Amino acid sequence: MLFYQTGADYLQMHSFPFNDKIKHIWKATSFLEVVFAFFGLFDLKNYMPRINFDLYIVNVYSLNFLILLIIIDILYVSYSFSQNKFGITWPLKILSSVASLFVTVLFLPITEQLISVVECEANDQGIQVLSYFNDVQCWKGWMLVHQIISILFMLIFVIISSIVSLTYFEPKMTSANRTSRQDSKGEVVFIINKVVCQFIFSFVPEGNDWLLVILLFVLSFSLHWVYNMEDPYYDKEVGKFYKIVTTYYLWTNFMLLISQVLFSTSFNGGLIIWVLGLPFISFIMLTSKKSRIDTLIRSQMKFKNGEQVQGHLRYVLSLIQDQKTDKNAYMLLIGYVEKHKEICQEEDCPLKSKKQKKIKQTEDEMEETIKNLIKELDRIYINGLKKFPTCTKLRISYAFFLLERMKKVTIQQKTKTQKIQKRENNHYNNLNQVKVQNLHLTNNLLYIDSKQQQLQIPIKYQKMMMEEMILLKESNSNPIYNNVKNQ
């Protein structure tokens, strides 16, 4: 369902490069006017002349009331999480369902409707009137009240949508949720794109073609960079989908820029080239495979920042996850293990310090290798955090690594630590506050209804667990850790 919402969202975004203010740049023939007519269907302003002012105001306040209900729902869910109890669960289900709609397919229509309340222009007498209702004067009487309320609710809506995009997502690599990702930077950048485009096309007057075209291209390039270069999604097919739609949008704005550069010439093929290029972009994106061999073979001594460490470890973990179904991933993983055995200079390297038992079945042998590799990745995480202690991205990645891959070891370590604490006069008193139940918080809250529908947990509660787990794991200098790790 999310894919359909996102697809519709990007179709709405194409209403900006084909907006009436800059459509002349394309120099479209009458045959290609159908393109403008199609994307005009997603522009709410085209429907304004068909309704009267009273119905328009009722619609605006209906949206404000809907936003108010969502705010109340968020406050209730936040309070319930803070108290760690839910009397009723349907507000959480509603919030989970509505949140994705708010940040995708409903975002542009809602913001466009609220912005239109303050979109004014001067009439023949020089009086500011509403752009779509020339008989209504702006910033006077009740209209002033309507405009102030609309501005307030629009700001609240944008802030809520940004927070929802930034915090409500599944960050686990091993999650069954195909939309799980390492962060929500792309979603936030997309919201920034939509808000900026709404404002510039609402308030920048006609005749500023270069400003509008350059802003569209820069914004679309930033969106393309986040999804294609940083590749936040763990699932390859989901990641491919977002790469295609963002590349489409960049391609549209690139051809718009080319058409603007050549506007003073007789060139009028920008729209034709854009149409012809769409299937080729799909083919290239679907068949291309991004090589990350350089990330895989990079020595630990050559990491320049924590992001490189995190990218290296994420790629190795993805190979571990795919090695049973992808032959190429299996071969890369074997090569990585063998190469790591040669270059690893650590005396306690799990991949070469422990002699593996002779096991007849190849699958069992591979499982043993992966177990040792997980231990080695754990050591790389710790060394990376020592070298780059201020890298938040690496620290959060390590916390989820512990939660997903090393949960059993972490619980054992915490149990042994508590036993020794009693004999050491509470020297590690801060660890007393960590409860084993916190490790199961995610599993208890991920499934609420009878159908085991997966829901999202606010990131602030995930971060609380992360900090506790990192405190446990970073006690590497403590002999307790080494005793547990060797078990």
Q: Of 6-15, 75-84, 111-120, give the lowest mean pLDDT range.
A: 75-84
**280 and 229 share a domain?**
yes
pLDDT at 486: 44
pLDDT at 387: 87
Number of domains in the chain: 3
| 295 found inside a domain | no
Reported as a pLDDT band with limits 50, 70 and 90, residue 410 is low
**277 and 400 share a domain?**
no
| 79 found inside a domain | yes
| 236 found inside a domain | yes
Question: Where is pLDDT greater, at 64 or 329?
Answer: 64
**216 and 249 share a domain?**
yes
| 100 found inside a domain | yes
Reported as a pLDDT band with limits 50, 70 and 90, residue 241 is very high
Q: How far apart are CA 239 and CA 173, in angstroms?
A: 13
Coil, strand, or helix at residue 181?
Answer: strand
pLDDT at 420: 53
| Residues 54-65: tens digit of each pLDDT | 888 999 999 999
| Residues 151-165: tens digit of each pLDDT | 999 999 999 888 888
Which domain range does residue 465 map to?
A: 407-487
Q: How far apart are CA 367 and CA 355, in angstroms?
A: 14
The top-scoring range by mean pLDDT among 55-59, 325-329, 481-485 is 55-59
Q: Is the pLDDT of residue 443 over 50?
A: no
| Residues 134-183: tens digit of each pLDDT | 888 999 889 999 999 999 999 999 998 888 888 777 887 777 788 888 88
**158 and 204 share a domain?**
yes
Is residue 5 within 8 Å of residue 105, measured between CB atoms? yes
pLDDT at 64: 93
**366 and 428 share a domain?**
no
Q: What percent of the chain has pLDDT over 70?
A: 75
Residue linked to tokens 């390039």: 221
pLDDT at 217: 97
- Mean pLDDT, the chain, rounded, equals 78
Q: Extract long-range pairs of 208-215: CB within 8 Å, 24+ residues apart.
A: 209/22, 209/25, 209/260, 209/263, 210/260, 212/21, 212/22, 213/22, 213/25, 213/253, 213/256, 213/257, 213/260, 214/257
Q: Is the pLDDT of residue 365 over 80?
A: no
**379 and 419 share a domain?**
no
**194 and 230 share a domain?**
yes
| 294 found inside a domain | no
pLDDT at 280: 92
